[in-house]
Amino acid sequence: MRLIGKEEIENIAIGAALLGTGGGGDPYIGKLMALQAVEEYGPIQLLNVDEVPDDALIVPTAMMGAPTVMVEKIPNGEETVQAFEALESYVGKKIFATMPIEAGGVNSMIPLALAARLGIPVVDVDGMGRAFPELQMVTFHLDGVTATPIVLGDEKGNSIVLNTVDSVWAERIARSATMEMGGSLMMAIYPMDGRTLKQSGIPNTLTLEEKIGEKVSQAVKNNEDPVQEILELTSGHILFKGKVADIDRKTEGGFAKGTASIQGLSEYQDQECKLHFQNEHLLAEVNEKTVCVTPDLIAVIDSDTGIPITTEGLRYGARCTVIGMPCDPKWRTEKGIEVTGPRYFGYDFDYCPLDELLAKGEN
């Protein structure tokens, strides 16, 4: 167990943006929420996953609804408190700790704000090791853990416990309730015991985010390039260096889809990289050959600032380094690939791990 405060939060926000692989939304609001909560309630206890008792109840928290509503109707911070209370009385057990469901954007910060407020620990673990767009894309789902009971809470004090027959119904009811309750709310989801968490979670995500953030802030301060340090921390590889030459975006089925073309610079002169995204970066091609594909991670780092760029933040002329990072081994299983692999996202080819793709490219 260790305590984390403002500086750690700033660093975690940067690291989460990198592991968010271009998605997860702008972490700005989430970060401010966490910072204010720490200011008001004091530092947060961060627990290693081994420190969680097997029978303890752990409940991840995340936002639900439209990020565009959340930037106008800022949360009040009590939404999840009510959701947690409702869940506790429903299952008849105290919640021991919370945790993030994913790495990236708003959802890596919300559990921190909540933990400070409730005085409960945050477990250094998550369910993706990156960001994904859909609720079932978590490692818990691979092990048969259900998302329900889900509890939704709004700023007015309403909370709803959803105990549905399956996650499709949960999603359907939650969506219409979200609209009725004001478009943006907080949820408690995937409640599980410590034993399940140890087996199904991806450990040390927050610490990794913090280390990445630390290196990036340090590099920014010294006007250095943080890429090498990031690669060491994440076992990543540089896929490409260049400048954004074109971006083609469209909104389809509620997702921000598109393709960015990057023109090579220095050792990549005269080469082209294409990044395909749907909220997150899913596929990177160099000279029309796949170099990295989901569930492996693709991140874009601004060469001028050293800061990760989100898919919304990509703009013509930005000089950047594209890096690939191996995903957690849990995603490389048959079920993992079925849930988050290229075919699920509509690409007509099989998953091939990053290192194999790179080895092929060199031959």
Partner 1 sequence: MNSYRLGIDVGGTHTDAVILDNAYQVIAEVKTTTTTDVSEGIYKAMKEVVAASGVLASEIDFAMLGTTHCTNAIVERRRLNKIAIIRIGAPATLAIKPLTGVPDDLKNIIGKHIHIVRGGHEFDGREIVPLDESHIYEIAKEIKGQADSVAVTSVFSPVSTAHEIRTAEILEEVLGTEIPISLSHEIGSVGLLERENATILNASIVEVARSTADGFVKALKKEGIHAKVFFGQNDGTLMSVEYTVKYPILTIACGPTNSLRGAAYLSDYPDALVVDVGGTTTDVGVLIDSFPRQSSLAVEIGGVRTNFRMPDIASIGLGGGTIVELHEDGSFSIGPESVGYLLSEKGIVFGGNTLTTTDVAVAVGVANIGNRELLAHLDLSVLKKVYARMIEMAEATIDKMKTSADPVPVILVGGGSILFPAQLQGASEVIKPKNSGVANAIGSAISQVSGQIEKIFKTDELGREQTVALAKELACQEAVDAGADPGKLVIVDIDEVPLSYLPGNATKIRVKAAGELLDNKLVSNS
In the complex, the residues that contact partner 1 under the rule CB under 8 A are 29, 32-33, 35-37, 66, 68-69, 71-78, 113, 155-157, 182-183, 243, 245-246, 263, 313, 316-318
Q: In this complex, which beta carbon is closest to partner 1, that of residue 75 or of residue 213?
A: 75
Burial of 251 (0-12, 13-18, 19+ CB in 10 A): exposed
Q: How far is the CB of 122 from partner 1 (least distance, A)?
A: 17
Separation CA 165–CA 286 (nearest Å) = 44
Select 166 or 180, whichever has its Cβ closest to partner 1. 180
Q: Of 82 and 290, which has the nearer Cβ to partner 1?
A: 82
Q: Is the peptide bond before 133 cis (omega within 30 degrees of 0)?
A: no
> Measured from the CB of residue 28, what is the shortest distance to partner 1 in angstroms?
8
State which amino acid sits at residue 241. K
Burial environment of residue 352 by CB neighbours within 10 A (0 to 12, 13 to 18, 19 or more): middle
Evaluate whether 27 touches 105 at the Cβ level (below 8 Å).
yes
CB 287 to partner 1: min, Å: 18
Kindly state the smallest distance separating residue 1's Cβ from partner 1, in Å: 25
Contact 293, 282 (CB under 8 A): yes
Pairing of β 122-123 and β 44-47:
parallel
- Nearest distance from C-beta of residue 353 to partner 1, angstroms: 34
Q: Which is nearer to partner 1, 78 or 85 (CB)?
A: 78
Q: How far is the CB of 77 from partner 1 (least distance, A)?
A: 4
Nearer to partner 1, 256 or 325 (CB): 256
* Residue among 232 and 246 whose Cβ is closer to partner 1: 246
> Residue 37 or residue 275: which is nearer to partner 1 going by CB?
37
Contact indicator for 153, 83 with CB cutoff of 8 Å: yes
Nearest approach, Cβ of residue 5 and partner 1 (Å): 16
CB of 109 to partner 1, least distance (A): 11
CA 39 vs. chain centroid, Å, equals: 24
CA distances from 245 to 265, 272, 282, 324 (A): 11, 9, 19, 20
CA 60 to chain centre: 13
- Whose Cβ is closer to partner 1: residue 30's or residue 341's? 30
* Count of beta carbons in the 10 Å neighbourhood of residue 132: 29
Who contacts 271 (Cβ-Cβ below 8 Å, separation ≥6)? Answer: 240, 242, 264, 286, 287
DSSP H helices in the chain: 6-19, 28-41, 67-70, 79-91, 110-118, 139-142, 167-180, 194-200, 205-221, 227-234, 334-340, 354-362
Smallest distance from the beta carbon of 157 to partner 1, in angstroms? 7
Q: Identify which of residues 155 and 296 has a Cβ nearer to partner 1 in the complex.
A: 155
CA dihedral 70, 78, 134, 140 (to 10 degrees): 160
